[in-house]
């Protein structure tokens, strides 16, 4: 990956986002680590990312559900690096609950955290990709967006909407050299998943996964690096499932 490229990875202070930011940095790209509240964890990612090249990583605080904060993050990136080439929409939230147990505010919060955030970031970044007629957008969705999942209708609808938006943007911007793809993980070994599963939950879940284990954030990151590369220019509008065979 070219050292001149600049990637923004939202929600990258922990979990899948952290792994993606470090993998992109390891591939030679400059990277922006975005966080909302976990400042020290974001700084730790920056230190690790810069073991290869000092100054190659920028930390940017922003709540990506807020348009003004997204705009400020983009402005900070441009002032520091002078360009943006890659956007990874990873930031998201989870709040498992049954349909009749959710209210309109909880529904709206899930849409904002998992879908509107991606819309706002795409809307802010795309003009800069269009100037160069080259760009990569990678949306981190979930198999819940394909199957309904177990985290609630609000989560499934938001993640399904992200896949639909991916396909629409891919069609619209492919003629301008921009690819847009979704990675669709399931059962990745993160703090968020283990917290939702509770004690003993991971062991029970693994018995239902054909490959016999949870996925790792690094496996998702390696796919993101490929999709962000020059070699992936013929892949766009895809929702690539990484689930270990789990359905």
Tokens found for residue 176? 């301008």
Interatomic CA distance for residues 6 and 81, integer angstroms: 7
Q: Which of 58, 61, 63, 64 is nearest to 6 (CA)?
A: 58
Q: Which of 13, 60, 11 is nearest to 32 (CA)?
A: 60
Query: Does pLDDT of 132 surpass 90?
Result: yes
pLDDT at 17: 98
pLDDT band at 133 (very low <50, low <70, confident <90, very high): very high
pLDDT at 199: 67
On whether the CB atoms of residues 194 and 146 are closer than 8 A, the answer is: no
pLDDT at 65: 98
The 10s digit of each residue's pLDDT in 161-184 is 999 999 999 999 999 999 999 999
Domains of the chain: 6-242 (3.40.50.720)
Q: What is the mean pLDDT of the chain?
A: 95
pLDDT band at 191 (very low <50, low <70, confident <90, very high): confident
Interatomic CA distance for residues 169 and 137, integer angstroms: 9
Cα 93-138-247 angle, rounded to 5 deg: 65
Count Cα neighbours of 69 within 13 Å in the Cβ-side half-sphere.
12
The 10s digit of each residue's pLDDT in 93-113 is 999 999 999 999 999 999 999
pTM here?
0.95
Mean pLDDT, rounded, for 125-137: 98
Percent of the chain's residues with pLDDT above 70 = 99
Q: Which of 144, 147, 169, 170 is nearest to 159 (CA)?
A: 144
Q: 29-33, 148-152, 165-169: lowest mean pLDDT where? A: 148-152
Interatomic CA distance for residues 116 and 64, integer angstroms: 9
Q: Which positions are annotated as active-site residues? A: 155
Query: Does pLDDT of 15 surpass 80?
Result: yes
């Amino acid at each position: 990956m070219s050292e001149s490229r600049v990637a923004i990875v939202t929600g990258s202070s922990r979990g899948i986002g952290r792994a993606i930011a470090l993998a992109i940095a390891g591939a030679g790209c400059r990277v922006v680590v975005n966080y909302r509240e976990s400042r020290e964890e974001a700084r730790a990612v920056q230190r690790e990312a810069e073991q290869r090249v000092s100054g190659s990583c920028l930390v940017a605080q922003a709540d990506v559900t807020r348009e003004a904060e997204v705009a400020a993050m983009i402005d900070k990136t441009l002032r520091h690096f002078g360009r943006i080439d890659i956007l990874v929409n990873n930031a998201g939230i989870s709040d498992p609950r049954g349909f009749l147990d959710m209210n309109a505010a909880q529904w709206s919060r899930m849409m904002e955290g998992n879908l509107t955030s991606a819309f706002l970031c795409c809307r802010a970044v795309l003009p800069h990709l269009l100037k160069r007629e080259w760009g990569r957008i990678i949306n981190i969705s979930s198999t819940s967006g394909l199957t309904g999942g177990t985290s609630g209708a609000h989560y499934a609808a938001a993640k399904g909407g992200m896949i639909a938006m991916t396909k629409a943007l891919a069609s619209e911007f492919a003629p301008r050299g921009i690819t847009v793809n979704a990675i669709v993980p399931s059962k990745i070994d993160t703090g968020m998943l283990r917290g939702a599963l509770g004690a003993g939950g991971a062991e029970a879940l693994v018995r239902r996964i054909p490959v016999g284990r949870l996925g790792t954030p690094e496996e998702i990151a390696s796919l993101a690096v490929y999709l962000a590369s020059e070699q992936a220019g013929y892949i766009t509008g895809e929702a690539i499932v990484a689930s270990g065979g789990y359905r």
